[in-house]
């Protein structure tokens, strides 16, 4: 057990970016990614370039972009077409649904200003295929 904990802590790279945004991944002992966390600062630095976090769902590239200057995310789906169905939802750590919206067009804005600081779960569903992200708002 100690080896697993040590290995997991060594394999937890944290990419810290200027200011208050970062992304971290956690891996199990076999090297499989088991979680992803996006940290969004409550007061992002004006003029700071947005950061993109990429995932592939159902053969399409999905980019989650942090907002510059405001606590928000943008979900962008590559090659979006009218036959695509998708939605995002934000839940608190107890699983209570706080927000749920359909993905619209190729880009959907997710406002986080109304949420208090804390930990959340961001679920994205694209053509029935899920993507799950931990979300921390400072």
Note whether 24 and 14 are within 8 A (CB). Answer: yes
Give the integer Cα–Cα distance in Å for 59 and 112.
28
What digits encode the pLDDT tens for the residues 24-81?
555 556 665 556 777 776 444 555 566 778 888 888 898 888 866 678 899 999 888 8
**pTM for the structure as a whole:** 0.69
Residue 41's pLDDT is 66
Higher pLDDT, 19 or 82: 82
Averaged pLDDT for residues 112-126? 92
**Strand blocks (E) in the chain:** 14-16, 22-27, 33-40, 52-57, 60-66, 72-77, 86-92, 97-102, 107-111, 118-126, 129-137
What digits encode the pLDDT tens for the residues 76-98?
998 888 888 899 999 999 999 99
């Amino acid at each position: 057990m100690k080896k697993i904990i040590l290995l997991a802590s060594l394999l937890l790279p944290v990419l810290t970016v200027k200011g208050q945004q970062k992304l971290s991944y956690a891996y199990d002992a076999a090297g499989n990614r088991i979680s992803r966390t996006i940290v969004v600062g409550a007061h992002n630095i004006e003029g700071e370039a947005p950061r993109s976090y990429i995932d592939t769902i159902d053969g399409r590239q999905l980019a989650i972009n942090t907002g510059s200057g405001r606590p928000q995310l943008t979900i962008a789906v590559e090659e979006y077409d009218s036959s695509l169905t998708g939605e995002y939802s934000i839940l608190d750590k107890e699983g209570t649904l706080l927000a749920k919206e359909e993905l619209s067009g190729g880009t959907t804005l997710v406002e986080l200003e109304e949420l208090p600081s804390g930990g959340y779960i961001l679920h994205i569903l694209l053509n029935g295929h899920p993507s799950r992200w931990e979300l921390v708002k400072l």
